[in-house]
Amino acid sequence: MRWFRFAVIILTVTVLQASLLDIIAVTGLNIKPDLLLILLVFFAIYCNTSEVIITSFTIGFAADIISPAMGPQIISFGLSGTALAYLHQVIAIKKMSYQSAAIFITGFLAGVVVHFLTYLKGQPTGSNVYTVVFGTSLYSALVGPFLFLPSVWWMRIKTHRFGRH
């Protein structure tokens, strides 16, 4: 893992998530793709398990920094990224359709856990929480696999392991 490149991509994506994604948001519902979720699934697919655990909690911390409630996303992203890394040891997630499904399922489950933890903290939640969670997961699943190629290039990850040297 190239940790400096990881830090740069996390900082860049966090700033983009916090500021510029309102341009492509679905009007009225505040549904926009979750770039940090896409990165979570990307690292769960392309890194080894110990690196995924570190990156998942780091990405969750970055998501907590830009969200109004501190704490639920670091737990949710950390658990879902770790579970996805262990699942990836059993099931290959290399096709774009599988990657989209992984992003959608991970985003939906992480969103439900975030909502549950926010509810347990006693903080107010919106009235259409599950619509936003479903819409954000779906939007991220549609956009996510197309962002994997630039991420592979930036992180210098070798995707062909059984080719000629």
Determine what percent of the chain falls in helix, strand and coil, rounding each to the nearest 5: 75, 0, 25
Tokens of 97: 């359709």
| Range 141-149 average pLDDT | 90
Give domain status of residue 28, yes or no: yes
- Residue pair 32/138 in contact by the 8 Å Cβ criterion: no
Model confidence pLDDT, tens digit, residues 34-46: 999 999 999 999 9
Residue for token pair 């991220």: 140
Question: CATH number of the domain that 9 lies in?
Answer: 1.10.1760
Give domain status of residue 82, yes or no: yes
pLDDT classification of 57: cutoffs 50, 70, 90: very high
Between CA 26 and CA 24 the distance in angstroms is 7
Domain that holds residue 95: 3-155
- Residue pair 123/148 in contact by the 8 Å Cβ criterion: no
Per cent of the chain over pLDDT 90 is: 50
Between CA 40 and CA 51 the distance in angstroms is 11
User: Is-above-0.85 flag for pTM?
Assistant: yes
The structural domain count of the chain equals 1
